[in-house]
Amino acid sequence: MGENGAGKTTLAKQLNGLLKPTLGRVTVDGDDTTKKSVAQLSRKVGIVFQNPDHLLFSETVREEVGFALKNFGFEPGVVVKQVERTLEALDLAHYADTSPFLLSGGERKRVALAAVLAWEPDYLILDEPTIGQDYQQKERLRNFILQLNSQGKAVVMVTHDVEFVAECNPKVVLMSKGEIVAQGQADEVLSDDGLIEKASLVKPQMAKLFSQLSEFGFPRDVVDVHRAKMLLGEKLSEVRVRVAQSS
């Protein structure tokens, strides 16, 4: 996470070899990225770029999703099966023979995601996946990411959408001006005034709320609505009981 220009996408591109380090080393599963090609590294590290229009070129969604599989040399039979599976998983099966260009913005984003998930990379990097999405679309995305993660895939999200991250509560790496300024759980990092300031972000609403309620003994590292409700609920019930007792 970080503001625009902090270096998030630059770092992401180091992970599949699109960019090579000028100092230091990047390894993926032990392999030095300077010793492997982008195609080789991409087998394990899949990047879903922000704008789907940078990827789409095929006549049908099916071909689009199968493109990478063909590049990686999968058998035709396997390609067909993987494409079917991925289309099902992303609710795109009914669009299989449609031109990707006829789909809406949100649907094209799903096709782009499908195109990368098709080869089931171990590490999935999503570059700004929430931009321009409405709340429902973000909900669906969040559930999907959590599902992927529970299947054992590593998911890296490059984003500045603090509320979305607050809902997922993942590990957060904060960047600013090309450096990593903090690493930790989302609720710790995003509720820290100093770090937020350094990374030029804003605190999630819950964190803002609780930082102003510390006089009542609440912890500061609250970013999730449900945890907030629980904590407030307890205290408010206590107050209610106390008020009832004293009257």
Partner 1 sequence: MAGTQGEVIAAHGLGFQYAGSTSKALEDVNIVIRQGEFVLLTGPSGCGKTTLCRCLNGLIPNFHPGEMSGELLVDGVSVAAETTSELSRKVGYVFQNPENQLFALTVEKDVAFGPENLGLTREEIRDRVDWAMDAAGTVALKDLAPYELSGGQQQRVALAGVLAMKPSVIVLDEPTSFLDPRTAEEVMAAVDTLRRENGITVIVVEHRLDLVGRYAERIVVMDHGRIVADGKVEDVLDSEFDRLSGLGIGLPKVSVLWSLLKRDGLVSERLPTHVESAVKMLSERLRN
Partner 2 sequence: MSLRVLNGFKFSSLKTPVHRLDPRAKFLLVIGIIVPSLLFTNIYLLVGLLIVQVPLLMVGRVTKRWLQSLRAGVFLSALIFVVNFFTGPLVNAVALTLRFLLLMTTFSFFFMTTSPDDLGLAIDKVGFIRWLSRRWLGYPNALSFTFTTAVRLVPTMAVDAQTVVDAQRSRGLELDKGNLLKRVRNYIPILIPLLLIAIRRSLELAEALEARGFPGKERRTSLFELRFKPVDYLLLGISLGGIVLSFWVFFHYHVPTI
Residue 81's SS3 state is helix
- Should residue 189 be labelled a site residue for partner 1 when binding is judged by CB under 8 A? no
- Should residue 108 be labelled a site residue for partner 1 when binding is judged by CB under 8 A? no
In what helix (H) or strand (E) does residue 144 lie, and over which residues does it extend? helix 135-150
Q: Residue 201 CB, nearest distance to partner 1 (Å)?
A: 6
Pick one of 27, 71, 214, 237: the residue that binds partner 1 (CB under 8 A). Answer: 237
- Should residue 212 be labelled a site residue for partner 1 when binding is judged by CB under 8 A? yes
43 contacts: CB under 8 Å, gap ≥ 6: 72, 119, 121
Segment contacting partner 1 by CB under 8 A, of 60-68, 75-83, 99-107, 173-181: 99-107
Q: Where are the alpha helices (DSSP H) in 169-224?
A: 186-189, 193-198, 205-211
Q: Residue 96 CB, nearest distance to partner 2 (Å)?
A: 18
- Should residue 151 be labelled a site residue for partner 1 when binding is judged by CB under 8 A? no
Could you give the C-alpha distances from 8 to 15, 33, 64, 236, in angstroms and in order? 11, 18, 27, 41
Q: Residue 162 CB, nearest distance to partner 1 (Å)?
A: 6
Query: How many whole angstroms separate alpha carbon 209 and alpha carbon 197?
Result: 17
CA terminus-to-terminus distance, the chain: 50
- Should residue 57 be labelled a site residue for partner 1 when binding is judged by CB under 8 A? no
Binding-site ranges for partner 1 (CB under 8 A): 3-5, 104-106, 131-139, 160-163, 166, 200-202, 204-206, 208-209, 212-213, 216, 225-226, 228-229, 232-233, 235-237, 239-240, 243
